Structure 1
């Protein structure tokens, strides 16, 4: 009985993680400018990767692998949003323009 519950939990996490990764991929293709694309990749990609790693950690049924998966999730949470922010700031300073759909430019120095 416990194996069935564990299989359902792992399956749900895999499905949710895959959907978040799919949303991130669609966002990269469909969003209008570099900044929106980076936002989609960093936020949805981080959640999707975290859920997939959590599923792997639970499915492995071993503490060392679970700890490695949790370490990977922590690494994603700490690095992906920060690196996306730094890349977006560098792209702005390099002259990449905002989309015409953007309504606010907080980095514009007047």
Structure 2
């Protein structure tokens, strides 16, 4: 899990899944909070969070697992807080550095230079 994520109810079910031999990537519902018009709104996305041994992430910022394993939805929710206003302000400089590093490694096509 990411540093800004917290496991909701269902930890026992997740422990049971982890104890089994893994032949899939576990997709968990990640509930992200947003500050909109003075209220906290929530959006849910199914994100790979339970990976078998040997599966690695690729990318910067929003990494994705590189694997042919099937994806299976597991009903163990995660609360995600980094889209709240205060968290976005803290991450602003970091995200810029990540994007600049990515651009330096992968230059744009000639048509965009």
TM bin (shorter chain): under 0.3
Structure with a larger share of its residues in helix: 1
The TM-score normalised by the length of structure 2 is 0.27
Which has the larger share of strand? 2
* TM-score normalised by the chain length of structure 1: 0.28
Q: RCO greater where, 1 or 2, for CA within 8 Å and sep 6 or more?
A: 2
